[in-house]
Structure 1
């Protein structure tokens, strides 16, 4: 016989389970209330910095250029005609008097023959007039002719003599014209350009060959308009060749173009270098470094240290392990660096990487050991060194 189940007895296990869950929840709340809240980790940014050097430091500005001859001539024929021969190539070494090109001489030779015939005709007329004058002088001595007739014969002789002199001068001029059919070099040098070929008809004076005189050379660079005046006064110019960067050649600024190039908008600066500089050839790529002094109240910092905030520029200065913004005024630019007038002082640490991810008062850790900017180094590697430091630092802070 089955015994009926009491409903109260059947609900006891369920009640016990609910009680256990409630007790566990209360215990968890109690433990949470007794524990301390978790502290938020402080945001410390890694940065790279430089230590500013005193003002009036050396500034290096480097520009690429080309080695050129100091004296280069564009030669052309002194008469027009058709070129029949070209006897040199670009790069050929030529001596003074060496033939470079020739014109077709036929027309000039015909003109010369005409001048010779004119001289002979004038000579015959002169001789005839001279003979007539002699005969009439004899007749005048015998009183057979009047003095007026004798004077007329004397005048005819003088006119014939003048005609002969004129023909003789024309012949000499035409003789020179015939010689001008041959173009010869007037200096010892190197052919740097050819602008005409055999078969081409050229006018008198048209440049057909460029010849650079041996000896004096120069390096020509293009400078931006905001640095021309400073570079013009530079007394320390050092030239390096791309083919031999270890060789340093001291040069002097010889000429600064008064107008800008219409294409590049740069001003041409010609730097004279010694004639005995070794391994210097025309057309080589060169780099000219100009050393100058900044103003007394200017300090140079890398371009990567600047941050644009609204309408002015600022830099981050590290003090006591934190950064603060310092508004600055830009006084100029030198390669990858800018000149700051006032606001900054020598010895301060300025952030050069990660400037756009900082905030005022934020604590930072310095990745690199602070080193002064190499303003005093007068070698041409200063801009490259700063650029390398900046590019390395840009990848360190994300």
Structure 2
């Protein structure tokens, strides 16, 4: 009995020692985490956007691009042109089956001939009755009845003539003709297809003025106005700026894209337009955009500094007191090649994470450096801490 007791006491002392060691290890883990050197992070100051040069890709279009359609419905019997074909004014483009239209014209023609015959008979009878009235062989009422019949025949003749004209026009509408010289840019029909009146069958780019079409995001629409000067550069002629101006701004956004179409016209007196731009050529439009009317200041940040949770964009701002990162919501108003313009509550003296935004978390401590990996020492507290 006496030999067992010392063994139990020794076992308890060993267990107590192990518990103490585990407790010390558990307490030292957070301390080690806290003393772990913070990861380096490139930070930048936001800069005031103000007026800047924005670039928009575009494509050369014709000033006038009519959508061509038949004025009557029917089955397409012949398609006479293809996309890319040049056409002349009055040239036939497609034909419909005109058999029914021709029958209607023949029927209208027959009605017109019948109306002419009726009018001729009524005119002869009116002449005969006028002579009888002068000789007092008939009464006034009989003459008035004949006069009424004649007037009715005149009205019927005019109506029949108008109906025949409509039927004749409709028979001619079975052939679709080019309204002007130009190029067919789109074809929507094929032989044998049944179409309705007014359905677009071709789109034609008329010869004449050319312009560049660009698409503007919704948030940038307030920055543009009709008549605003811009600069155009053709992809095929880099370094050759051409003066232009905004000619038209769409009042409604395109379905699905939620962008607004803008038409940019070439200046007629610009020497850069000596070589006429060709349809479909790619171009860039440079526009000097001004500060928006939003109460928040517009600022420029590197594209790499902006990230998003779903549709909500944000950046990481560094707290200069403890060098931790915190999310700040931003609204992106425009994108550039390297920089984006944002609206936010950021101040010019704030430090914003410029790279690695997907690798950090809320409250993470960092060691700020510049793009050459040099410690930032503009703040005395920052320099002393590092």
Give the TM-score normalised by structure 1. 0.65
Equivalent residue, structure 2, for 1:337: 340
Instruction: Report if the CA contact (8 A) 2:38-2:366 is conserved.
Output: no
Equivalent residue, structure 2, for 1:96: 89
Larger Rg: 1
The match for 2:280 among 283, 293, 297 is 283
Q: CA, structure 1 residues 168+293, in 2 after alignment: closer, same or farther (shift >3 Å)?
A: closer
State the 1:99 CA deviation: 1.6
Alignment of 1:1-398 (within 5 A): 55=48, 58-232=51-225, 235-274=228-267, 276=273, 278-294=275-291, 300-304=300-304, 313-314=316-317, 332=332, 334-335=334-335, 336-338=339-341, 343-344=347-348, 366=372
Q: CA, structure 1 residues 324+167, in 2 after alignment: closer, same or farther (shift >3 Å)?
A: same
Equivalent residue, structure 2, for 1:6: none
Q: Which moved more, 1:182-191 or 1:226-235?
A: 226-235
Instruction: Report if the CA contact (8 A) 1:260-1:266 is conserved.
Output: yes
Instruction: Report if the CA contact (8 A) 1:49-1:366 is conserved.
Output: no
Query: 2 CA distance for matches of 1:306 and 1:210?
Result: 42
The SS at the match of 2:241 is strand
State the 1:344 CA deviation: 2.9
Equivalent residue, structure 2, for 1:387: none
Gaps of 5+ in 2: 1-36, 309-313, 375-386
Q: Per-residue CA shift, 1:195-239, capped at 9, x if unaligned?
A: 112222222111111112222233222233333323459945333
The SS at the match of 1:187 is coil
Q: Which moved more, 1:61-70 or 1:73-82?
A: 61-70
Q: Per-residue CA shift, 1:29-79, capped at 9, x if unaligned?
A: xxxxxxxxxxxxxx99999888987x5654232232322223211111111
Query: 1 CA distance for matches of 2:137 and 2:38?
Result: 133
Equivalent residue, structure 2, for 1:37: none
Gaps of 5+ in 1: 1-42, 318-322, 369-398
The SS at the match of 2:285 is strand
State the 1:324 CA deviation: 7.0
Equivalent residue, structure 1, for 2:33: none
Give the TM-score normalised by structure 2. 0.67
Instruction: Report if the CA contact (8 A) 1:44-1:363 is conserved.
Output: no
Query: 1 CA distance for matches of 2:124 and 2:138?
Result: 16
Q: CA, structure 1 residues 178+306, in 2 after alignment: closer, same or farther (shift >3 Å)?
A: closer
- How large is the RMSD of aligned CA atoms in angstroms? 3.9
Query: 1 CA distance for matches of 2:267 and 2:143?
Result: 74
Instruction: Report if the CA contact (8 A) 1:316-1:350 is conserved.
Output: no
